Amino acid sequence: MEYGVEDWLCGDIEESENGRMGRKREYNDEIREYKSKNLETERRRREKLSTRLLMLRSLMNKATIIDDATTYIKELQSKVESLTQELHQMEATYSDEKTVKNVDEVEVAEDINKWEIQAYYSLNLRGVRLAQIDTNKLWVKIIIENKRGSFKKLMEGMNILGFELLDTNLIKTKGALFIEGCMQVTLGKGADGERLSVHQIKKYLQDIISEK
Amino acid sequence: MEYGVEDWLCGDIEESENGRMGRKREYNDEIREYKSKNLETERRRREKLSTRLLMLRSLMNKATIIDDATTYIKELQSKVESLTQELHQMEATYSDEKTVKNVDEVEVAEDINKWEIQAYYSLNLRGVRLAQIDTNKLWVKIIIENKRGSFKKLMEGMNILGFELLDTNLIKTKGALFIEGCMQVTLGKGADGERLSVHQIKKYLQDIISEK
DNA sequence: TTCTACACGTGACGC
DNA sequence: TGCGTCACGTGTAGA
């Protein structure tokens, strides 16, 4: 590469503006004060670089943000887990276990009349009783063994058959589960697509509660 | 600063190993091939720098990790919120609203006998009935209006007084709430520190259910 | 060609 | 002193 005369500063500059010594260099057997064309550009470039480096430095404490985010995520995860668990437990309790919270540990005093449900159960009256109210409504009374999952199974079975319970009463004792209320039967749910008879409905319900 | 003879390479090296031109410089009116003392050190330093820069570059895709973490956190947050809401709703439903899910919309068929609870309610038999079983146990039968919060209030009041329900039956109709079961009374909970009489307990319970 | 980005060798400075 | 780091001015390759 060759340099024209305009590339050389011919004055006796021994110090540049920032106090550093200007360099003497040999070029084509001449020694002169030389100033590269891109000197200022390079200075600006370096300036920008260090600025960016400082900016990066200022972002460095965001490492703590990452840490914080990590612990926060862990917190949220455990929260989600415990909530899910609680919810499931409550669902199970709600649909399948007890009617009133904090009420299970102690057996019933023998001298207390535990409603007719006890009589029904001890007299082995478990089963389904139905009475037609109108075309789509039935009065229903079901007594089954109160075992884990039995209520849920009943509900699911009724749901599949398109039977909907309305304003139902539910009594649970240690051994028996008593359901009484109004049941809505959707039309055309029978295998033959016709209206179900009370007898058929009773049979379906009995099938559900006798399933193991 | 002065340089000893050992600082100067006196050979005619015009090209360094990487093909770049060695510099000729003037020093003490002599022109020789000069090699700075920290040349190698500086080379190594630069090498390390660029290595680190590349390493930083390889970490750069972790920006996506941050993005992922952000969206993940948002997901978890909404999950927590919905679960909490669901739980609260279920708690409310569970303790205060209905006994059986999906069973509320339709009024009871008029011709259905809704248990004695209906009779109790229509005959204005609301209130508290108690019978002592042993020193700390009572049989209890409570009928109150089934309004939002009434059951919760009762439970809270009983809790404050140290009364604990054991194996309770609960029936809810649209208008009335029937609670029957066994109640354990902790000793020394009376204002005077002495055992509570059945009469006092009855009064306390009546106070709770008559509170607005 | 010019312009930009980069690596180089170097002197200065702090420990 | 010696060692590591930095900013500087420069040459040059690529666009």
Average pLDDT on A78-102 reads 60
- In this prediction, residue A79 carries a pLDDT of 83
pLDDT at B123: 45
pLDDT one-digit tens code per residue, B15-35: 333 333 333 333 344 444 667
Sequence-separated (6 or more) residues with CB below 8 Å from residue A126 = A120, A143, A144, A145, A176, A209
Q: Which helix (H) or strand (E) holds A151?
A: helix A150-161
Residues 6+ apart with CB under 8 A from A196: A185, A189, A190, A204
For residue B190, the one-letter residue type is: G
pLDDT tens-digit map of B85-114: 777 766 655 443 333 322 222 222 222 234
Instruction: Please report whether residue A86 resides in a domain.
Output: no
Name the residue among A53, A56, A49, A22 with its Cα closest to residue A36.
A22
Strand, helix or coil at B92?
helix
Can you list the positions of beta strands (E) in B134-173? 137-145, 163-172
Comparing CB atoms, the residue among A83, A165, A169 nearest residue B80 is: A83
pLDDT band for position A169 (cuts 50, 70, 90): confident
- Mean pLDDT calculated for residue range A40-58: 82
A50 CB-to-strand D distance under 7 Å: yes
pLDDT at A19: 30
Contact of A103 with B181, CB cutoff 8 Å: yes
Q: Is residue B145 part of a domain?
A: yes
pLDDT-derived band at B64, boundaries 50, 70, 90 = low
Q: Does any domain span residue B12? A: no
Q: Which of A173, A97, A110, A103 is nearest to B165 (CA)?
A: A103
Distance of CA A31 to the CA centre of its chain: 77
User: For residue B76, how far is the Cα from the chain centroid?
Assistant: 10
Within 13 Å and on the Cβ side, how many CA atoms surround B128? 21
Through-space separation of residue A144 CA and nucleotide D8 C1' in angstroms: 93
The residues pairing with A193 across neighbouring beta strands, listed in sequence order, are: none
Whether A205 has a pLDDT exceeding 80, the answer reads yes
B25 strand C contact, CB < 7 Å: yes
With beta carbons less than 8 A apart as the criterion, state whether B22 and B49 touch. no
Q: Which residue of A has its CA nearest to B131?
A: A112
Q: Of the candidates B108, B137, B172, which has its C-beta nearest A109's C-beta?
A: B137
Model pLDDT, residue B173? 61
What pLDDT is attached to residue B125?
53
B99 touches strand C (CB under 7 A): no
User: Do the chains contact at B168 and A95, CB–CB below 8 Å?
Assistant: no
Residues A192-202 pLDDT 10s: 555 677 788 88
Residue B16 domain flag: no
Token pair listed for B42:
């500086």
Chain A and chain B share a number of CB contacts under 8 A equal to 147
Tell me the CA–C1' distance in angstroms for A51 and C8. Answer: 22
* CA B53 to chain centroid: 41
Find the CB nearest B171 among A164, A169, A184.
Answer: A169
Residue A84 tokens, joined: 């899910």
As a whole number, mean pLDDT of residues A115-123 equals 44
pLDDT of residue B71: 80
Q: Is the pLDDT assigned to residue A96 strictly greater than 60?
A: no
Q: Rounded to 5 degrees, what are φ and ψ at B53?
A: -65, -40
What is the average per-residue pLDDT within A87-95? 61
The angle formed by the CA atoms of residues A97, B142 and B126, to the nearest 5 degrees, is 135
Contacts of B94 in chain A (CB under 8 A): 90, 94, 101
* A36 CB neighbours strand D below 7 A: yes
Whether the CB-CB separation of A150 and A143 falls below 8 Å is answered with no
CATH code: domain of residue B205 = 3.30.70.260
Residue B197 lies inside a defined structural domain of this protein: yes
Cα A165 from Cα A154, distance rounded (Å): 11
Task: Tell me which chain B residues have a C-beta less than 8 angstroms from the C-beta of A1.
Answer: none
For position B16, what pLDDT does the model report?
A: 34
Is A68 part of any domain? Answer: no
Phi-psi region of A199 (alpha: psi -120 to 50; beta: other; left: phi over 0): alpha
Q: Tell if the CB–CB gap between B165 and A90 is shorter than 8 Å.
A: no
Which residues are B185's β-sheet partners? B163
Whether A80 is covered by a domain: the verdict is no
What domain count does chain B have? 1
Q: Report the pLDDT averaged over residues B124-133.
A: 70
Q: Do B166 and A137 touch (CB under 8 A)?
A: no
The answer to whether the CB atoms of B170 and A95 lie below 8 A apart is: no
Mean pLDDT in chain A?
Answer: 63
Model confidence band, residue A111 (pLDDT cutoffs 50, 70, 90): very low
Predicted local distance difference test score (pLDDT) of residue A107: 29
Do the domain assignments include residue A83? no
pLDDT at A82 over 80: yes
Single out the residue of A40, A36, A14, A39 nearest to residue A27, CA to CA.
A36
Q: Name the residue type at position B137.
A: K
Strand C bases with any atom < 7 A from protein Cβ? 4-12
Query: For position A85, what pLDDT does the model report?
Result: 78
User: Which range marks the domain in which residue A149 is found?
Assistant: 126-210
Express the helix, strand and coil content of chain A in percent, nearest 5 each.
45, 25, 35
The H or E element spanning position B25 is: strand B24-27
Cα dihedral: B159, B164, B170, B175 (round 10): -30
What's the pLDDT score for residue A168?
67
Integer distance in angstroms from the first to the last C-alpha of chain A? 96
Q: Does pLDDT of B165 surpass 50?
A: yes
Bigger pLDDT: A164 vs B1: A164
Amino acid at B2: E
Q: Which residues of A touch B167 (CB under 8 A)?
A: 103-104, 106-108, 173-174
Percent of chain A exceeding pLDDT 70 equals 50
Name the average pLDDT for chain B: 63
Query: According to the model, what pLDDT value does residue B78 have?
Result: 83
User: Which residues, other chains included, contact A193 with Cβ-Cβ below 8 Å and sequence gap of 6+?
Assistant: none
What pLDDT score does A187 carry?
Answer: 53
| This prediction's pTM | 0.34
Q: Cα distance from B40 to chain A (closest Cα, Å)?
A: 22
